[in-house]
Amino acid sequence: MSMLPVCNRIRSNIVPPSLPFSRLIHSLQFATVKAEEISGSKPAQVQNLVQGKWMTSSNWNTIVDPVNGESFIKVSEVDESEIKPFVESLSKCPKHGLHNPFKSPERYLLYGDVSAKAGHMLSLPEVSDFFTKLIQRVSPKSYQQAFGEVYVAQKFLENFSSDQVRFLARSFAVPGNHLGQQSHGFRWPYGPVALITPFNFPLEIPVLQLMGALYMGNKPVLKVDSKVCIVMEQMLRLLHDCGMPVEDVDFINSDGKTMNKLLLEANPRMTLFTGSSRVANKLADDLNGKVKLEDAGFDWKILGPDVHEVDYVSWVCDQDAYACSGQKCSAQSLLFMHENWSKTSLLRQLTDLAGRRRLDNLTIGPVLTYTTEAMLDHKNNLLQIPGSKLLFGGEELENHSIPKIYGAIKPTAVFVPLEQIIKTEYYDLVTKEIFGPFQIITEYKDNQLPIVLAVLEKMHAHLTAAVVSNDPLFIQEIVGKSVNGTSYVGLRARTTGAPQNHWFGPAGDPRGAGIGTPEAIKLVWSCHREVIYDFGPVPQNWQIPPST
């Protein structure tokens, strides 16, 4: 994914709380800003947190409002000469972590309590509304989509309340070879770790990964994309208010070069990165492979030969491709449509549904990693492929004030013939991820299913996928010959989902990271340690045997 991350981790059937009027955000004791009041005349400021203290640096990065271009947030960014406190902070954390099954086990209970309190806070309408609107200001999406992030974070925290944190560290024992011997397997922290997250889910991704790191006993330094870091700054203040020790997490704002230098000097035991494949591979090299990655999201959906519920499937396709303006690592990038679907109203409905999206309610909005020109150039390049055609979109949004550094295009779909997609000269172009409201649609016949599978096999990104069919043999064929780590199958299959109730992450790469579930937390934020107890007794009349 080009700057991903993560994804409709949002359930589209979630209904946000009813708020008859805008509540007074200053009633929130933890908050230092009011989402609605952030503006060029009253800019917000974002600080850094290191060794338990909020601080500013000598440099300020000005963030522009992605909707109107107004300078509205000032981020205190650390430069390369100012990273020493962060390096020292990580170095103070031992390799065995801040807690583990043998050390400070009461901290498992502490984080169960913090999670319970924070989950409750996010369930309060005034707190939920605050974070929803703050997300909208920096990563524009509809209220429903932004609220979905808050809801997922809330449910995740509720999931890991009370004793659930210590259950993550559950061990197992195996009988030994003789009396007094047992082997025990433990989940062990890495100690000092780093966490780097992208712009598109400014609350959900960092909250879920940060808390997972803390649950397992690690000391993380967190860097969120500066364009949206204000959301997580406010969330950290909420967590402190809920009892999280202020020294447990460092929060840094910087450019990529400075963060890279910090990682090289601090040498964290593990770094979780969610973002572009290019940066992910550089980090893997720089950090000698001590990484977990969620780094790509060119995701596909196959509509099987059995046609059902065209209205519903059309709506899901529109949501998968264009909600959050397509800026999800799980967004539908390539739609394989069986010829039976071509005979239905599917394409007409996709056109109509895309046409409903409007800038004034942010059901379509700014694209933060691609310019309008770059996306339209990509469209034009695709239209040079023989047999390709523009299905809808392909134009700049009308009557907008989105700054030129960002993108502003209508939801777009380009049809490319399947026989052209598989060709070497076109494959890379067709499967280039455009992190915006842009998808490829193609058609296949029964005898072309092997070509569809060949297209999937050539892909390097294996995050989400969907097989829309109720034919178990068809599903079995596709799932058995594909890789994607989060795959939905059945009539209601989608590419986007809610990760607090299931694994979300890629497959096929040993560096792959998951999010949301106990399995994901244990995989990413802990390693296995074996402790073998061997107390004896030594057999009676034992004598030293001959050397072997």
List active site positions.
294, 329
Listed in sequence order, the DSSP H helices in 52-203 are 84-91, 106-123, 125-138, 143-159, 164-167
Between CA 222 and CA 202 the distance in angstroms is 12
Task: Report the alpha-carbon distance of residue 409 to residue 411 in Å, rounded.
Answer: 6
Beta strands 192-197; 219-224: pairing state: parallel
DSSP 367: B
- In this structure, the strands spanning 71-77 and 48-50 are unpaired
The tokens of 391 are what? 């299905």
CB 246: neighbour CB atoms within 10 A? 14
The first and second tokens of residue 233, run together, are 């700054």
Residue carrying the six token digits 């739609």: 335
β-strands 527-534, 181-188: how paired? antiparallel
Tracing tokens 């055609």 back to the chain, one arrives at 389
> How is 430-458 classified by DSSP, letter by letter?
HT---SSSEEEEEEE-GGGHHHHHHHHHH
Please identify which residue in the block is written with the tokens 């949301």: 516
First to last CA, the chain: 56
Residue 472: CB partners within 8 Å, gap ≥ 6? none
**Alpha-carbon span 195 to 213, nearest angstrom:** 9
The residue ranges of DSSP E strands in 323-371, in sequence order, are 332-338
Q: Which two tokens stand for residue 198?
A: 């992208």
CA distance 113 to 116: 5
Nearest-angstrom CA–CA distance, 340 and 326? 26
Distinct helix (H) and strand (E) counts, the chain: 18, 20
**How far is CA 493 from each of CA 302, 312, 486, rounded to the nearest angstrom?**
10, 11, 11
What's the rounded Cα separation, in Å, for the pair 96 and 304? 50
Backbone φ and ψ of 78, nearest 5°: -75, 135
Beta bridge partners of 54: 49
